[in-house]
Structure 1
Amino acid sequence: MILGVLRGVMASLASLGLPLLRSSLPRWRLCGSALALYTRQPSRSHRLSPSDDELYQKTTVTRLERDSADIMFIESYSSQGFIINGDRVVGPCAVVPKAILQWNVGSYKDISMESLALFHMIVPKIEILVVGTGDRVERLHPSILKAMREKGVAVEVQDTGNACATFNVLTSERRVTAAALIPPTESKKSLVQVKESPH
């Protein structure tokens, strides 16, 4: 269709005494095929990676599900994961206002400024980050805690059970709170219910 329109335009211009444009027809054809080439969808193997500038931009988390609750509530946890607002989450997770994300850490030893970057970059700005380190409280490197404080985020490190309860209490008080949770490793026959409720 585009080539047909271009041919019509060039025929009109030629009738006005501009035959020079006629010689550019092959170039327009090439441009049309190149345009078709670049409008194709990327293949499944195409990998997108952020540019240097995007690495330092703030991220906004938007709720996609219309029926999500206004408050995130951790109902229970086990060695496999968590139940948050009725949704089962397997493995370590990051809970931010109105979103649950997979958190790519294996244990507390993997917690670094890179793994916590999300929590100081998202909008609305997180006031308190509750970190659940598994079966017991594990110490994070002081430089990590200091860097997070400098970015305006207070960090509370607890065992996962207490971290879940603390997160629920803080969100029920309408504090802008996030949680970074690692499931406990001890095998449990059933889910442990979190006692504190935001209601």
Structure 2
Amino acid sequence: MKLQPDKSDVQTLTAHGPGWVAVNNEKIENSVVVGSRGERFAWDCARFEHLGDTHFARLAELGAELVIFGSGARIRFPQPAWLQPLMARRTGVETMDTAAACRTYNILAGEGRHVVAALLIESPGDGQ
């Protein structure tokens, strides 16, 4: 699905599909973290089952006001223990499927909020 954001000076999630997202029109086929203040790095997890507390601890270090966790093709919630570093920093966390996370990130980033999208990108054949 192609997304059409309003004019924005922040990184934008411009499209998504099974097994990929596009950041500023660059197709990415692995899990990624994208932030409204220019943060962008590969998120070392290929499947939901590979996630753990260290993945979310790294997100806490970014100091965002909100982390949007895109859990793949369907919504799956992280274990509460994984979120402790974020809660300790009073960082909000919202969980949704990756498509919804892309749309929500664009809206909040466009409003000037310091938001980070942690997007789980699984290969289409990974049992999504």
Q: Same fold (TM over 0.5)?
A: yes
Contact kept? 1:134, 1:185, Cα under 8 Å: no
User: Which residue of 28, 33, 38 corresponds with 1:94?
Assistant: 33
Under a length normalisation based on structure 1, what TM-score does the superposition of the two structures give? 0.54
| 2:54 match: secondary structure | coil
- Structure with the higher fraction of residues in helix conformation: 1
- Flag the 1:135–1:73 CA change in 2: closer, same or farther, 3 A: same
User: Which residue of 145, 149, 164 corresponds with 2:83?
Assistant: 145
| Structure 1 unpaired stretches of 5+ | 1-68, 188-199
| 2:117 match: secondary structure | strand
Is 2:52 aligned against 1:112?
A: yes
- Structure with the higher fraction of residues in strand conformation: 2
Greater relative contact order: 1 or 2 (C-alpha under 8 angstroms, separation 6 or more)? 2
| 2:105 match: secondary structure | helix
Q: Which residue of 2 aligns with 1:167?
A: 105
Q: Structure 2 counterpart of 1:161, which letter?
A: A
Q: Structure 2 counterpart of 1:168, which letter?
A: N
Q: Structure 2 counterpart of 1:148, which letter?
A: L
- Flag the 1:138–1:120 CA change in 2: closer, same or farther, 3 A: same
Q: Structure 2 counterpart of 1:98, which letter?
A: G
Q: Deviations over 1:49-73 (max 9, x none)?
A: xxxxxxxxxxxxxxxxxxxx73111
| 2:87 match: secondary structure | helix
Q: Structure 2 counterpart of 1:88, which letter?
A: K
Q: Structure 2 counterpart of 1:137, which letter?
A: I
Q: Structure 2 counterpart of 1:152, which letter?
A: R
Number of equivalent positions? 117
Q: Deviations over 1:93-142 (max 9, x none)?
A: 111221321111022222222112222213xx201000111111102111
Q: Deviations over 1:152-191 (max 9, x none)?
A: 211111011111111111101111000110125547xxxx
RMSD across aligned C-alpha pairs, in angstroms?
A: 1.8
| 1:148 match: secondary structure | helix
| Structure 2 unpaired stretches of 5+ | 1-7
User: Which residue of 81, 85, 89 corresponds with 2:20?
Assistant: 81
Aligned ranges 1:15-94 → 2 under 5 Å: 70-94=9-33
| Structure whose CA Rg is larger | 1
| 2:53 match: secondary structure | coil
